[in-house]
């Protein structure tokens, strides 16, 4: 029984990590497009914004992959 819940914990942690990282990337994208479009001369190019989105996704995956397993294990028990 513990082995099955351990496998599910890993799946739930992966799904939660990806979901939270995607939410952060969307927030970053929306805010950067709003700031960029509010200026008369755009501050960032499309490539800068996309590279920032990739950077935010990678960093948030690193952080969330270390945080979510502990949270999910506490919830399962």
Residue 1's pLDDT is what?
Answer: 44
> Dihedral of CA 68/15/57/36: which sign?
negative
pLDDT for residue 42: 86
Quick: pLDDT tens for 24-76: 999 999 999 999 999 888 888 999 999 999 999 999 999 999 998 888 888 87
Q: How confident is the model at residue 10 (pLDDT cuts 50, 70, 90)?
A: confident
Closest CA to 32 of 59, 55, 50, 54: 50
């Amino acid at each position: 029984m513990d082995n099955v819940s351990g496998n599910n914990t890993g799946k739930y942690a992966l799904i939660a990590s990806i979901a939270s990282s995607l939410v952060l990337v969307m927030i970053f994208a929306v805010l950067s497009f709003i700031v960029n479009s509010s200026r008369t001369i755009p501050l960032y190019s499309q490539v800068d914004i996309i590279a920032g989105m990739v950077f935010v996704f990678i960093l948030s995956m690193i952080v969330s992959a270390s945080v979510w397993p502990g949270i999910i294990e506490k919830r399962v028990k």
